[in-house]
Amino acid sequence: MSTTRLIQHVLKTPIRRPITNIRKSPLAPIPFNYAKPTSIRHHAYGTKAPPTPPPPKTFTWKSAVVLALTATGLVVYFKGEKEKLMAQRKRQERDSIRALGRPHIGQPFRLLNVNEKRVMSSEELMEGQFTMIYFGFTHCPDICPEELDKMAEVTDAVKAEFGEGILRPVFITCDPLRDTEEV
């Protein structure tokens, strides 16, 4: 070869040649990543890099509309569920009141008089006199004895000032199983 031809041959061949068969070589058991970015590869060969596509748009009008519709739907759904829950609670309250029944205010009633061992009607109990009614327990260590003492003081004061038969004290037990006739 002549020197001119040798120089022409050297100038024609690129300085770097891509090595394609090194991965298949038994001398290189560990895989190497010889891939280079496209801009470097094209720069080495003197060609232009292909144009890069624009980055994808993450926020568009479509996504904004979908987000707004979803948020509105969730708000409407949860408001409806809250109204259902409130209606259910009102229904339960109304049903519990029905279960207890209506109070019989002003209706006649009957009481057992343990002293005289007879049943008294409300008309007999309140006929011609004032009635002071106390609901309590005989087995009550704290409040009941003090309240019964107050009731006795008031009864004694009314007897002293107005005489006998003006005020009748009535004790109604709240625990009939423990407050027996003997107590």
Collapsing DSSP to helix, strand or coil, 101 comes out as coil
Report DSSP letters for 20-55, one per residue: -STTT-TT--S-------HHHHHHHHT-PPPPPPPP
Question: How would you write the pLDDT of the chain (183 residues) with one tens digit per residue?
Answer: 577 776 776 666 665 555 555 555 555 555 555 555 555 555 555 566 677 887 777 778 888 999 999 999 999 999 999 999 999 998 888 776 665 566 667 778 788 777 767 777 878 877 888 888 888 877 777 777 788 888 889 889 999 998 888 888 888 888 777 777 666
- Which positions ≥6 away from 41 have C-beta within 8 Å? 18
The alpha helices in the chain, defined as continuous H runs, are: 3-12, 38-45, 61-100, 122-125, 143-162
Q: Which residue has the tokens 């292909």?
A: 50
Does the annotation flag 144 for ligand binding?
yes
